[in-house]
Amino acid sequence: MAEAYIRRKGTYRPIAITSDGGGKRLSGEDLLKDLIVFPPDNVTPRFFFEGLSQYYLPFQDIDRRLIAIELYDFVDSLINRRKPEVDGVQGLKAEALAYAICESAYLNQPVKVKEVEDGKIDNYQSEINKYLPL
């Protein structure tokens, strides 16, 4: 059974995993020792030097670091002539999923992710699209 601990009343507790049979409880640091979770370039750990299994950063700092990691991967893929970890199609699908949640809340009804991906539903996004203009 996997347990994820979340922020409660201003305190944070790290993620930990235990087996269904009541086996050994593994903390995030224990898991990182045994699992390969990052490519050999070790870029991500450099951006989260406080610790990979738990860190206490404001949202803006986390977001900036994640964007920097994505940009690094993109530039590295150009330099080394390789496919980026996430290409444009995968990125579009991921964003469509996230925006489908926003569109659904905005419209107060279910929406299909494909319709957001295709631009058929863009009520939440339309003001931004007009401003940019997209």
Do 57 and 28 reside in the same domain of the chain?
A: no
Q: Is the pLDDT of residue 53 over 90?
A: no
Distance CA 134, CA 102 (A): 18
pLDDT tens per residue, range 60-113:
888 888 899 889 999 999 999 999 988 889 989 999 998 999 899 899 898 999
Do 106 and 121 reside in the same domain of the chain?
A: yes
Do 31 and 50 reside in the same domain of the chain?
A: no
Distance CA 51, CA 36 (A): 15
| pLDDT band at residue 120 under the 50/70/90 scheme | very high
pLDDT tens per residue, range 10-38:
445 555 666 556 667 766 666 666 665 55
* Residue 102: exposure state from Cβ atoms within 10 A (0-12, 13-18, ≥19): middle
Distance CA 97, CA 117 (A): 8
Instruction: Count Cα atoms within 13 angstroms, Cβ side, for 12.
Output: 8
What is the structure's pLDDT at 62? 81
Do 7 and 45 reside in the same domain of the chain?
A: no
Do 45 and 81 reside in the same domain of the chain?
A: yes
Do 31 and 43 reside in the same domain of the chain?
A: no
Do 73 and 94 reside in the same domain of the chain?
A: no
Q: What are the C-alpha distances in Å from 101 to residues 3, 96, 107, 122, 124?
A: 25, 9, 10, 12, 10
Top pLDDT among 118 and 50 is at 118
**Residue 75: which domain range?**
39-85
Q: What is the pTM of this model?
A: 0.54
Q: Which two tokens stand for residue 84?
A: 């980026």
Q: What are the C-alpha distances in Å from 82 to residues 62, 69, 79, 90, 100?
A: 26, 16, 8, 16, 30
What is the structure's pLDDT at 47? 75
